[in-house]
Each structure stands twice: as structure tokens, then as C-alpha cells.
Structure 1
Amino acid sequence: MIKPIYRGGLLLPKCQLWFDPRKRKPFAVVSHAHADHVANHDCYLATPETIALIRVRHGNAMADRGRALPYGEVYLGPGYRLRFYPAGHVLGSAMAHVRLDTGESFLYTGDFKMRSGLATEVIQIPHADTLVMETTFGRAEYVFPEFEQTCQSVHRFCDRAIEAAKVPVFLAYSLGKAQELLKVLEERSQTLMVHKSIAPLNQVYASFGVSMPQTRPLDFLNMSECIVVMPPAVLRLLPRKNCQVAMVSGWGMDGSAKYRYGVDEVIPLSDHADYPGLLQFVDTVAPQAVYTTHGYEQAFAATLRSRGYAAWSLSKNDQLELKL
């Protein structure tokens, strides 16, 4: 059985293959272009979309060290074959499926979501003997509303703000969340105004066939009759007097979220799988062993054990359950 190790990134010792390591490696697999999954490796494997996004966010030098592997194509490594499957998280996000020459198979999810997105590829789920999965929302209380209901929440927030003569402002991460939100907002008549970190990423999305609405650069002095989308880090610069602010995050399921973020509302639009989605995912993969990482990894591993899976968190902090 394949036994992965977590050392600031995931390592498969049998083939000395790293997945999303935080520190520079001679060779690594990069699942997607969010900063916490990218490092300045000598060489790395990623989808063409991820490399294009890395080029915008981190520059040509880092992007040029990437080796593009489109979904479905096979990379032949020493003793293994690797294939990318869409993860549904952000544009170009990939789950890495590895088949060893021994016949054993392994799946690393990176970040993923189960529902179809407006600005991302639809997830494809292969079978694997060993699964390493992210469990950001791995507790039973994290059940997201239906997507249409969330879209209605976005539009209601805009309508309330406009009726109160306020500018609707959405806080959304520049890569992934912002593009999904802009697709929800594109049917509206108001001008869409975005932070400078979002616009060039929109162009990458468009270059890979995801049509994006027209936007204007963010201008704090001329936001009247606009809807603003910007990353959360910019909130401290926003003139709040004439604005109503919504954070866009799956953590909006927590009752205290709006106070924690210091906003008027939190809308639970997430680019991660919720708790039922995580369970559905595991059942679809049908692995012999599961390792969980990120978020509620111990809690979700315990849930899987109660459902008959051999499951453990990569942090190795699991509590043994005693059957009395």
C-alpha cells in the first residue's frame, strides 16, 4: 500500500515525487495557482492554465520552469505514470492520479469542489487505491446552500445596497472566487469595477475559453453606480461611508463570520467541497486507504473510519475510538 508523507508538502517516498511543497524542490507537481500551493521550483508539472496564471502572478521566470501537462495526457516518470484530472477548484486546478509500475494507484486532490462552477472545469473523479484529500470543510455543519440560492443572495445584497444609495462591494480572492462571482454578476446592468489584481487573471480565463464580463479598474473616487469586486486585503483602504461590504466565503456558514471579517454580510460561495460533497467524493473514488489534510482533517478522518474506511489525517493527530 502507498504511504504518503507530509513534510511541508506531500511526498510519495516510493517515487520521490512531491505535490505542492512549500519550499523549492528540483521537481514537483503543482495542483493549481493559489500562492499557498506554488513555490519557486527548479522544474514543476502543472496544467497549461495553471502555468499561464503563474506567469501573471509570479512572472515569466517561474512560469518558464513549468512543464505543461494537459488534462488526460500522461507523464512518464521513473516507475510511475501520472495523469491530471480537473479538480473544479479554479481554472486549471488538477487532481494528480499516479499509477506505479507495481499496479498500485494514488490520487492527490489538491483543493477541489464537487459542484459545477461558472468559471472552472467540471471535476472528474477517477478510482484510486490510496487517496490524499483536502478536508477544509470536513464537519457536518458545513452544508452549503444550493448554488442558485447563493446567486440570489448575491443579487439581493446588491439590490439592498443600491436601494440604500450605497455601493455594493464584494471581497473575493483574486484568483477563482472573483471570476466565479463576476460570472454571477454579469447579468446586472451596473458597471463592474475590479481591483488591479483581478483584471489580468480575467484575461487568462478568457484566453482559455471562459468568457468574462467587461470590467473597469477600481477607483475609490468614482464608484458611484458600480459594483465593486476586490480582494479582502484591500478592505482597509476602502472608504466605508458610502459602501455596503460582503465577504464571499464558505466560512459564511459560521454565524460569527461577518463580525470576524468586519463586514455587513458573508455570502457562502465557496470553491471547496462542503461536507456532503467530501463524503460523496470518497465514495466515488472508493479507495482502500484515505489520508486527510487541511481544515478539519482529524474530524473527517474519524467520520470516514465510522463509515468503514481506513482513514487517517496526515498530521497523525488522530484519536483512537474505543468500541465499548
Structure 2
Amino acid sequence: MSREPLLKFTERGIYCSAANVYLDPWKPVDKALITHGHADHSRWGNKRYITHLDNLPIIKHRLGEINASGVNYDESFNINGVTFSFHPAGHIPGSSQIRVEHKGEVWVFTGDYKTENDGISVPYEPIRCNTFITECTFGLPAFKWRDQKDVMHDINTWCSQNNKEGKTSVLFAYSLGKAQRLIKHLDTSQMKIYCHGAVFKMTEVLKELINFPEFTLITRETKKEELIGNIVIAPPSAHGSSWMRKLVPYATASASGWMTFRGARRRRAIDKGFVLSDHCDWDGLLSSIEATRCENVITTHGYQEIFARYLREEKGLNAISERTQYEGENLNEQEDLSTNTSNT
């Protein structure tokens, strides 16, 4: 008789029955281990949350009054005989992989992750395991990222050109993770950074962890003349809203892995697209899996079925796909702060 899997996919989320805990559940549960602060992985309604220490202020900001505790990276803790630990995922600040060990078997759940060091997150570390649960948001060979420094050079060049033309540079990016990555690496020698409220509040939370250049909140009192020629960071949901009127004249850009596809920029009605993602590209996914030396792979959100088939047929791995309610860096890019209207 085969043994029950250490982790299984249920209607509430990824469940460890031996410990009676869930990993990034999408429905309310008694005890949840949380990989990071994005809304599809850390949802409101759980009775207790356990996460990395750096993610605590993030989820408390987004979810309000919750019963939550934090642990350090590589710090093991035991629940009903099952050993858990959090390890750097490199996705966004405070993000983790979760290692689960029981009766000599080791599983690793990545949540979301990337292998490139972005300068604001603790860099990804591969963890040896038997079974590896991996996202594959960009699990196609077409997705291959350029070095961040080269992409940021292009972004800074674009902003500088807009400055010379008397236009405000409006960069659309997730308010948690991507926005701070941009703020950290933008050239502020000749331009100032202004922020939409959602971006400003989240960046204020992360100031305790990251040394940012100066950034300013756009308020009703902010004069249009102050913004001209400078840089504005806003969530994708701000695009096309009345909030944008104060920014005229402006040029718009999106920073996303989906900018790999030419049609993505046209569909979003933006002027420029920069390929910058908080997820692994094709090569990053493959190198991560190889580094774990795992025998089994479970692919989740993204091109999971295509990617699992490739791993079986080309890499000889025992790979299957599982459906989840994680969204990854989806094409709609809905503002992920919508789960907590008090913070928007």
C-alpha cells in the first residue's frame, strides 16, 4: 500500500496532513505557513499565520490585525513531528521557500521565486529535496531575461529622454516587489521619484529592510508642475484612471515579464514595455530544478502542463502538474492590494 504524500493539493490549498497545516492556502484554515506577501499567496481569514520575519510587517500591513509569528531563514521548527523551515526565494522582500521533512522524506514548496539577485530581496538558495513544487509562470523557452542592470539602464535612458522632452515618466509596476525594485535602481541624479499611494505605503513599510533613495507621495496638494520631467511609480490599476490627469504630459511604461510578447504592450495601451520579472525565466526554472537533485516535480501556476511534459520527456523526471488558485504575474495584473481596502 502506497504511503500518503507528504503534501497534497486540496480544495483549501496545499495540505500537510501529518502536521495539520496548510501552505499558502486559498481558503481560510486554522494554521497557515505563508511564503510571501502577495495577495494570491497570503489571504485574509486564517486563524494563525507563520511566515518569515521580514514578511511579518508586509502581511500585517495588507491584512490588518492577524495572529501571525515569524521565523528566520534556516530556522527549523517542529509541528506534530514534521520539521519545517523557511529559505530564501528571491522573489520579493521577505519571500521564502518552505522545506518540509518527515520520516526521511523532504519536499520543498517554492511559492514564487526567481534566481536573479534583484538587490532588494535575499537571493534565492536551492534546497536539496525529493519532491520540488515549482511555479512556472514563465515556463516556456521564449522567456529569457536580460540582466537587471541592462534593463535598468534602458529604463533610466527612457526616463532621461522623457525629462528632456518635458514629459513625466509613469512606470506601472506591482506595489509590492516590482515597485521597490524600480525605486531602488532608478537614477535620481537629475529626477525625483513620486509614488501613487499604494506604492508609497508599501515602500514605507519596507524602509526598515531596504535603503531606498528619496521618494515622495503624490497627494491632492501636489502641483502638476512638480511632476513634469520626473518619475512616477504607480500600480497597473492606476492606468486609465482619473488619478492620471494630474500627470499630463506623460509617457507610460510597464515593467513585466509579459513585455516579452509584443502584443502585450499594445493591449495595455502603454508607450513602452520593459522585460523585468520577479519570477524565473525558462533557464532559471531548469537550473533551479537541477540544483535540488529531486526525483519528483510538481508544477503549479503558469504553463504547468506544458512544463511538466517537458520535464518528463526531455529531463526524465517524474513530473506532474497541479491546479492552484495562485495567479503569478498574470496578464490582467490587477492591483494586489484590493484585499485590504483600508490600505489603498
SS in 2 for 1:36: coil
Distance, in Å, in 1 between the alignment partners of 2:212 and 2:93 is: 13
- Structure 2: gaps spanning 5 or more residues: 325-344
Distance, in Å, in 2 between the alignment partners of 1:54 and 1:3 is: 24
Q: Please state if 1:213 is matched with 2:213.
A: yes
* One-letter amino acid matched to 2:234: M
Shift of 1:132: 0.7
> What's the TM-score once normalised by structure 1's chain length?
0.92
* One-letter amino acid matched to 2:122: E
User: Which residue matches 1:259?
Assistant: 266
User: Which residue matches 1:321?
Assistant: none
Distance, in Å, in 2 between the alignment partners of 1:22 and 1:15 is: 18
User: Which residue matches 2:177?
Assistant: 176
Q: Please state if 1:243 is matched with 2:244.
A: no
Shift of 1:187: 4.2
Per-residue CA distance 1:72-96 (angstroms, 9 max, x = gap): 1111111211000010011100100
Distance, in Å, in 2 between the alignment partners of 1:158 and 1:6 is: 46
Distance, in Å, in 2 between the alignment partners of 1:146 and 1:292 is: 25
Residues 186, 213 of structure 1: 8 Å contact kept: no
Per-residue CA distance 1:262-314 (angstroms, 9 max, x = gap): 10011111110101000000000111110000010011111111211100101
Distance, in Å, in 2 between the alignment partners of 1:129 and 1:206 is: 37
Residues 169, 229 of structure 2: 8 Å contact kept: no
Distance, in Å, in 2 between the alignment partners of 1:79 and 1:289 is: 23
Residues 205, 212 of structure 1: 8 Å contact kept: no
Q: Give the length in aligned residue pairs.
A: 311
- 5 Å matches for 1:147-162? 147-162=148-163
User: Which residue matches 1:89?
Assistant: 91
* One-letter amino acid matched to 1:68: G
> What's the TM-score once normalised by structure 2's chain length?
0.86
Residues 50, 69 of structure 2: 8 Å contact kept: yes
Distance, in Å, in 1 between the alignment partners of 2:193 and 2:248 is: 20
Distance, in Å, in 2 between the alignment partners of 1:8 and 1:188 is: 49
- Structure 1: gaps spanning 5 or more residues: 317-324
Residues 150, 269 of structure 1: 8 Å contact kept: yes
User: Which residue matches 2:302?
Assistant: 295
Per-residue CA distance 1:183-213 (angstroms, 9 max, x = gap): 11144321110111122322332212x1011
Per-residue CA distance 1:36-62 (angstroms, 9 max, x = gap): 111221001101111101122222x12
Residues 8, 14 of structure 2: 8 Å contact kept: yes
* One-letter amino acid matched to 1:278: L
User: Which residue matches 1:71?
Assistant: 73
Distance, in Å, in 2 between the alignment partners of 1:283 and 1:303 is: 14
User: Which residue matches 1:26?
Assistant: 30
SS in 1 for 2:133: strand
Distance, in Å, in 1 between the alignment partners of 2:7 and 2:154 is: 43
Per-residue CA distance 1:226-258 (angstroms, 9 max, x = gap): 210010111122137411000111101011111
Could you say which structure has the greater relative contact order, defined with CA pairs below 8 angstroms and 6 or more residues apart?
2
Q: Please state if 1:46 is matched with 2:81.
A: no
Of all paired residues, the percent bearing the same amino acid is 27
Distance, in Å, in 2 between the alignment partners of 1:244 and 1:183 is: 21
Distance, in Å, in 1 between the alignment partners of 2:223 and 2:81 is: 55
Between 1:175-184 and 1:212-221, the stretch displaced more is: 212-221
Quickly say closer, same or farther: Cα 1:3–1:74, change in 2 above 3 A: closer
Residues 5, 12 of structure 1: 8 Å contact kept: no
User: Which residue matches 1:308?
Assistant: 316
SS in 2 for 1:202: helix
Residues 97, 106 of structure 1: 8 Å contact kept: yes
Residues 118, 148 of structure 2: 8 Å contact kept: no
Residues 170, 248 of structure 1: 8 Å contact kept: yes
Per-residue CA distance 1:118-156 (angstroms, 9 max, x = gap): 211111111010111111000010011122221122112
